[in-house]
Structure formats: structure tokens, C-alpha cells
Structure 1
Amino acid sequence: MELSLMYDIMYTKAAVVHTGLGYGIRVASPLFTAAALSLFWLHSKDGQRRADVIITYILLVATLVLDVRCLLGALASTWTYAFINDTSWLNSCVGRWHGLRSFVVSLDPSRLLVEEPTSYRRWSGTIGRHNLFRACTHETTTSLLSRVVKFVATRSLWMEYQYGYLDGLEILPVVGDLLFEKVWEKLKSPFEPKQYYYPGVAEAPKKEEPEPELVGDPGFGFGIRRKVDEALEIGSEFQEVVLTWHIATEVFLLCRPGHLASFTHVKAIRELSSYMMFVVAVRPHMLPGLHLASLYEATRDALKEIWHGNKSSHCSTKRENELANILLYMEETRPGSEPDSRSKLYDSNAILSDGTQYARLMLRRLSTPNHPNKKESSSDLPKHYQLPDLWYGGVLDLQEMLERILDAWVRLLIYASIRCSRDSHAKQLGRGGELTTIVWILAEHAAIDKKTRHD
């Protein structure tokens, strides 16, 4: 509802229409149009062409219908309800407004087709998808229309059409519930007292950090972002982080032992991973930091080259699984004799190597007989993408590992949402809304909830 109201303010004339002067113009417009139609009806048509007379009637009648429709829509709008409530001498008209709104809603033609019309105030729940493993192992331009769009449109427009429209999907309700539950938990955590635990101690002593004074702070918005950034513990090379975690997530899920795991968690992880890759590839302006298009392209080209150079000759029904196993094999292969020398995969692409190394570490930590576990130290992790919660602790079962992977992706989503520029949020709002914008609004609500509890 809040995003819809923002859309009204930025992309419609709501701020002008729903004022005293605006309502006056709305009421007067159909009256003047009706007067013009009546005068033309009474005016002599001698010497005028029949076609001109018919066209004039069509234009006047259509204008009158549109004016009446706009007037009814404006009067039945919730903006009008707010205007009536704010105007003392109109408070008695609230009951009449409800009757008018019920009448206008009953005229909605969509009620003839479905029981309840879909509210235009709601986000569609659809997100774009871009999976590097699928894009590199399958042809994406299979339909004639897609090939035509690719030929006539720019590369960015084609990618928007291909990955945002054709490959886009609507989030399942059960997945959406899990996702937003995790998002809300993470968004509230920066505004709760921090507790410090000491690993290895049976009864770990705790100490609490005093809550920050946010109420009345002129830099309230900046303070929110800083606290969330600290809580999420994300590195500065954000696009590189997303690329690395996309590779790690796909390799882990494709090579995980067995499939006895929560469908909801696996689906949520896959959708978040593909969505964040879609933002990196198609809408990099929505991400914080530098727009490193060359980084994405180099990773994609290296993955394609590896696939075409190492795929088996027979037609595999599980191409992504085969590519994941190829990456694991290349990461374990050392061209040199030294055990600590760089892997063959690192020589091809550092991001592919880092992501596959993460997947190997996660697979080794599973409590399964086929994958001996080992507690990894932070020095074993590549570079600075350390998200400590994913690595702390002992042996994990598959469900626990999925929980931590989903937690890591939720952190990345929140970070991208609160660090996205407001201009980018506004542009996507004009195109139907975006998941990152929804999360951005939730972040604001988390801070409001903190202020309310403080008061």
C-alpha cells in the first residue's frame, strides 16, 4: 500500500487531483463537456460533412465518458477518504463515501470474469531470474519472438525481456512467507541489544551493548544504514560477492549428497540466488558500489568456455550437475607440484575458483559418510567474503547448512535493498515494483518499530 501511494505521488496527478481545487476541476470538467455536446447537438449541421459530424460526436461522447469515469474514480479513491477525514466540515460524509465506493467497485468489469478483481495496489510477486549455470549449458533464445527481440533491441532491453519477462517467475506463497520471515528477523536484529558469546565455554558469559539513541537523531536514516551494514557484515566488493555466492550456491545444491531436504528452503535459496544474479546482470544500477559489467561478463564467458571445453559428448539430461562436477574437479587439480599452488580453475577465473572453493568447504562440513567433515578456520576462506555465521560451529546436517545459506542470501538481499539509490527504487516502482524496494520499505518499518518500542 505504501509503495502504491508513492507511485501515485511520483507517476500520477494524485497530489494535484485530491485537493479542493482538483476536485472542483474534476466536477466541472464533465459538466463543461456535457454542455459542449448539447450545444453541438442543437447546432445546425447544414453544409458539414457527415463523417466530420460523426467523428465529433464520438470524440465528445468518449470525452464525457472518460470525464465521468475519472470523477467517480477520484471520489471513490482512498485519497478522497483521507481528504474527508482531514476536513472537519466533511466528516459527516464518510458514510456516503463508503456507499459511493461500493457502487464504483461494483461497476468494475473484471468482476464479470473473476470473483474478486486483483487489486492494482498489490505487488505482483514476480521476480526476474538469471542462473549462470543454466545460461551457459542451455540455449536461451529458443523462441522466434525472443530471437527477434534480441536482433532489434539493445542488449540491455533483450536481457530485461529474456530474464525479467520470459524467465521471470512468481514467488510461491510458502516460499514468500519463509523469505519475508527471514528478512524481518534480520532487519530487526540491528536494533536489538547485542550479545557476545565466547566459543568453547560451557556457560558462556554475556554482555549487552547499550542501545543507541536513535530517536531525534538528525541523521536517523544514515544511522539505520550504518547499523544494518555492521550487522550484515558484507564486504565492499558487492557484485563480486554476489557472483561468488551464486557459484558456491549452485555447486553446493547440485552436488549435495541426497535430496532429503526442505523443498521450501532449497526453492527460496535458488530463487534468491537467481534473482540477485538477475540484478547483477540486468540492473547493476540498483546495486551498491561500482557497476562492474566486465566482471560479470568475464565470469560468464569463462564458465561457458569451461563447459564447451569439458562437457561430455553424449547428451546429458543434467547439464548443470555435470558443469558443477567439472568445476569441483578443476578446483582440486593443481598444475604445479606444490600442494598450495593455485588450482586449474583459478587460472581460468578467480571468481569461479572462490565460489567452488566455498562449495567444497560446505560439502566437507556436512555430516554424511561420503563427505568427511572438517571444521574450517577463517584463514581457509577465500578473500573477505566471510559471513561468519555460515562457518562457525561443528558438523552440520543438510537442513542446518541450508538454513545458513539462506541466511547469507537474505543478508545480501537486505544490503542491496538499503544501499540501492532512491532514484533506482523510483524507476523500478514505475515499472511495477521490485523485491528490493519491498525489502527497503521493510527496513524503514524495522526502524519505526524500534522507535515505537523506545517511546
Structure 2
Amino acid sequence: MQDNQLSLRSLQTYFAQFIAGGAYFLYKYRNDRGHFLGLATWLMFSVGVVKYTERWLALQSGKLSSIRESLMMQPPLMINIHSHREDVKLKKVEGDLETLDEESIVRRAHSLFYICKSGMVGCSDDVPRKQEFMEKMQDVEWWTVVEIELSLMYDILYTKAAVIYTWHGYAIRVISPLAILTSLLLFIFREEDGQGAFDTATTYVLFVGALFMDLISLLNTLGSSWMYAYLSTTRIPWLRYTFLCSGRWDRLRHLVLSLNSFVTFGGSRSGARRWSGHIGQYNMLHFCTRPDTLLTRPLLGRLANLLNLELLWNRKHFSGATKISDPIKFYITEYAKLLYMEGRFTLGTDETKWGMTALQHHQVVYDFEGTLGDEFQEGIIIWHIGTDFFLSKCRSSNGQVLLVSAVKALSNYMMFLLVERPSVLPIIVKRMLYERACKALHQGMGRYHPTGICDMLHSLFS
């Protein structure tokens, strides 16, 4: 994200070092050993100029402001996913519920991707009508669609997807290997210049490697699911008919997926765009109530203390990860569906005080009034510790074990983000608030009753 914001600095470096410096170097050390060699050199240099220009454009397009402008200038089109391929339904192993296959889900995600982009940049005007949205989500697991949407968003922010999957991006992918092949032929038919055998062999290796990489890039680009989205929304009818309606692109897509599976030694083709499913875990009470003496610390902890790296050691040592469970996916998905159906689901920032929905449901808003903190990070800390106290005191039945584990995992995950990944939170995290809460909990944990934990924490921040 920082690279995207500094795209102008990258443009300055690009012109100063690559264009000016590279062109001057080629001019300074030009030779009179033949017209073919000079032409091949400048042809390869031109390919490099185009590739680096594309890289800068990708950085520019990955900025949130650029994504917002693109949504405003070109209203997104809903893709008619039933026009070119019948959805393939598969039965789940654990039940009779039929769901769509991976390819159909990816195409559904592409058709709704503009909603993800709108939510990312705070534009909520393009949300589809409820009936239209629910039709798109039939036979689809919402959690799976979200995973794929995040994968597509990653492509926009951190790869060249924003510029590759355009008409000029496809043109570059087609012309580049042709230019490299032409340059290779010019080098082969150059005049004899007395070049050493080792230098000649090295040049051939570089040519073949560049040509192979560009051909692989062309094949992956044409067979990517992004290509399907481009063809589905193109304003050129014959192009859509030639590749989609005739089934040619589907066959190319199948070939690319098969080759990728072969290259990965038989890796599964399904779930290629899925999230790994691991979330970080950090429990504040576990950290604050640990025995903190030199004798009880691990050897690496003592070494970190000697090197003045105790804070880093504490964050890493007391952090962990867990596989997100199916109950967590189920509860989050069902809650999102409920909010959407009730018209309370928004893409923008929710102005409601965090936790108020649950408190209103249980009619205990006044019991916690003024104790939930005024800042987002205060809310995370207070709810995290309050959740731990509540779960330790309540006795859950067998039917609630899964719910308890889901709540605890999400609570620890929010604290993990606050402590270990504060940059992904929509706030500027003040480390002082966290350190103050840790100090107070470490010194006076036994003096507070669990029911008064929110009042105690609120007093720390006031």
C-alpha cells in the first residue's frame, strides 16, 4: 500500500535511472559490429521500457483513490454468469446440500466484485437491489465468495491485475513475446563479431528464459478468470461471441488449470483462490497473569531482555495462530445474512457504538452506558477482557461449546490485530493505551470483581 502511495517517486526513479540511464548506456557503448545486433538491443530495451511503464501504472492503479475514481468514471457492469456456461452443482460430502463448483463460484465472485471494491473505498451507492443480490448468491456459500473476493482485491492492490486485464495489457502480453523472438532471430543472424563462446551462450540462455517467461505469462493471462470478466463486459460483441459463446475460452481455461495442476505436482485445482484459514491469536489476560521472573522466563526470553528486545519477544512469544473453524464461518455468515435481510448491512463505517447491537438485544444497554470507551482500540481491549471473564464464569452446555470457542477465537483475533497487526485496523493505534491496560491488569488483577471489569478498564483510559 505504501508503494502505491509513493508511485510518483517510483516514476521519478523510473525516468532518471532506467529510461535516461539505460538509453545513455546503450548509446555510449554502441558498437559498429552490425545493424542486426544494434536493432536487437534496442528492441529488447523497448520491451523493458514497456514492462516498467506497466509496473508504474499498476502502482498508480492500486491506490484507493484510483479505485474510487475508476468506480465513479465507469459504473461497474453486472456479469450475466448464466449466458456462457451452465453452473455445475456438486453435493457436499457431509450432506445433501448442493453447492456450485469452484469455477462457478469464482465467476459469481467476479460478477459481484465491484461491491467489494465499493466497500473498500467507501462508495456504497452501487450496492445492488436485495432481490438481485440474493439471486446471485443462490447455491453459494457466502464465506467462500468472501474468500475469493479478498483474493481478487489482493490482485488489484498488490499485483499488476489492474493494468494487465485491459485491452492494452493484453496487447502487451501478445506483442512482448513476438518482440523477444524477433530480437532473438536478429541476434542469431547477426554478423560475426568475434564474441566469446561463453558470452554468446549466456545471451542465448537469457533470450530463451525471457521468451519462455513471456509465453507462460501470456497463457496464464488468457486463461485467467479475469479474462472471463473482461470478455463478459466487453463492448465488442464479436469478441464475446468468438471466445465465450463458442466455448473456446472455457477450453483454454481448462487447459491452463490442468497445466498448473501438473506443475504443482498434482495439486488440487479447487480452492486456488481460497484463504489459508488461519487467524492470529493473542490473549491479553494470559500475557498479564504469566509468572514474570528471570527464573520462569525461557532462555530466549532472558536473552531478549539482555538485548533490550523484551517488547518484541513478548509480542511474538505470546502470539499464535489457529485454524478458523466451521462454526466461526457459520455464525459470521448467518449474522451477515441477518443484517442484510433487515436492511442494517452497510458497506461504509458503522456509526453505531461497537457492541451496542448485542447489548440492545439483551436489553442491558444502560448497565454498560459510558463504560465501553470512546476509541475503537478501547472497545477492543474492554470487550476482549470482558469476554474472557464472562466465558470463565459461565457454564456452557454441550450445545454452546462451539459458540464459546468461536467467540473466544474472534476475541483473541481482535487483540492480535491490535498488538501485532495495528496497521490493518481503520485507526491510528496508540500503544500507550494498551501498555497502560497491561500494567493495571498485571498489578491489580485480584482487586476487581469480574462484573466491574468494564468500569475498571474505562477508568484507565479516562
Taking the aligned partners of 1:138 and 1:384, their CA distance within structure 2 comes to 22
Q: Cα–Cα, structure 1 residues 262 and 120, in superposed 2: closer, same or farther, change >3 Å?
A: same
Taking the aligned partners of 2:336 and 2:302, their CA distance within structure 1 comes to 35
Taking the aligned partners of 1:154 and 1:383, their CA distance within structure 2 comes to 27
Question: Which digits, 9 at most, give the CA deviation of each residue in 1:353-389, with x for residues without a partner?
Answer: xxx2257xxxxxxxxxxxxxxxxxxxxx74999xxxx
- Which residue is equivalent to 2:451? 357
1:175 aligns with 2:328: yes
Taking the aligned partners of 1:173 and 1:61, their CA distance within structure 2 comes to 47
- Which residue is equivalent to 2:50? none
Q: CA deviation at 1:271?
A: 0.4
Taking the aligned partners of 1:135 and 1:82, their CA distance within structure 2 comes to 48
Taking the aligned partners of 1:109 and 1:147, their CA distance within structure 2 comes to 45
Q: Cα–Cα, structure 1 residues 49 and 289, in superposed 2: closer, same or farther, change >3 Å?
A: closer
Question: Which digits, 9 at most, give the CA deviation of each residue in 1:420-439, with x for residues without a partner?
Answer: xxxxxxxxxxxxxxxxxxxx
- Which residue is equivalent to 2:82? none
- Which residue is equivalent to 1:296? 434
User: 1:225 pairs with 350, 355, 358, which one?
Assistant: 350
- Which residue is equivalent to 1:265? 403
Taking the aligned partners of 2:162 and 2:310, their CA distance within structure 1 comes to 35
Question: Which digits, 9 at most, give the CA deviation of each residue in 1:37-69, with x for residues without a partner?
Answer: 233334466632333222212211111111001
Contact 1:190 1:231 in 2 (8 A): no
Q: How many residues were matched structurally?
A: 289
Contact 1:130 1:277 in 2 (8 A): yes
Q: CA deviation at 1:170?
A: 2.1
Q: What is the TM-score with the length of structure 2 in the denominator?
A: 0.52
Taking the aligned partners of 1:264 and 1:232, their CA distance within structure 2 comes to 19
Contact 2:261 2:268 in 1 (8 A): no
Taking the aligned partners of 2:339 and 2:387, their CA distance within structure 1 comes to 20
Cα RMSD, aligned residues only: 4.1
Q: Cα–Cα, structure 1 residues 60 and 151, in superposed 2: closer, same or farther, change >3 Å?
A: farther
Contact 1:127 1:169 in 2 (8 A): yes
- Which residue is equivalent to 1:185? 338
- Which residue is equivalent to 2:447? 330
- Give secondary structure in 1 for the equivalent of 2:282: coil
Contact 1:128 1:275 in 2 (8 A): yes
Q: Cα–Cα, structure 1 residues 384 and 129, in superposed 2: closer, same or farther, change >3 Å?
A: closer
Taking the aligned partners of 1:59 and 1:331, their CA distance within structure 2 comes to 70
Q: CA deviation at 1:108?
A: 0.9
Q: Cα–Cα, structure 1 residues 226 and 145, in superposed 2: closer, same or farther, change >3 Å?
A: closer
- Which residue is equivalent to 2:176? 29
Contact 1:237 1:289 in 2 (8 A): no
Question: Which digits, 9 at most, give the CA deviation of each residue in 1:1-48, with x for residues without a partner?
Answer: 333333333322223222222222211111111222233334466632
- Which residue is equivalent to 2:211? 64
- Which residue is equivalent to 1:311? none
Contact 1:111 1:117 in 2 (8 A): no
Q: CA deviation at 1:77?
A: 1.5
Contact 2:382 2:457 in 1 (8 A): no
Name the aligned partner's letter for residue 239 of structure 2: L
Taking the aligned partners of 1:144 and 1:35, their CA distance within structure 2 comes to 58
Q: Cα–Cα, structure 1 residues 269 and 96, in superposed 2: closer, same or farther, change >3 Å?
A: same
Contact 1:174 1:264 in 2 (8 A): yes
Task: Name stretches of at least 5 consecutive residues in structure 2 with no aligned partner.
Answer: 1-147, 360-371
Name the aligned partner's letter for residue 250 of structure 2: H
Taking the aligned partners of 2:266 and 2:297, their CA distance within structure 1 comes to 35
1:116 aligns with 2:268: yes
Q: CA deviation at 1:152?
A: 10
Question: Which digits, 9 at most, give the CA deviation of each residue in 1:304-336, with x for residues without a partner?
Answer: 445xxxxxxxxxxxxxxxxxxxx4x5225xxxx
Name the aligned partner's letter for residue 14 of structure 1: A
- Which residue is equivalent to 1:247? 385
- Which residue is equivalent to 1:88? 237
Taking the aligned partners of 1:152 and 1:108, their CA distance within structure 2 comes to 47
Structure showing greater relative contact order (alpha-carbon pairs closer than 8 Å, 6 or more residues apart): 1
Contact 1:26 1:71 in 2 (8 A): yes
- Give secondary structure in 1 for the equivalent of 2:268: coil
Question: Which digits, 9 at most, give the CA deviation of each residue in 1:238-289, with x for residues without a partner?
Answer: 3222212222222333344577563211210110110111122233454466
Taking the aligned partners of 1:291 and 1:225, their CA distance within structure 2 comes to 19
User: 1:107 pairs with 249, 259, 272, which one?
Assistant: 259
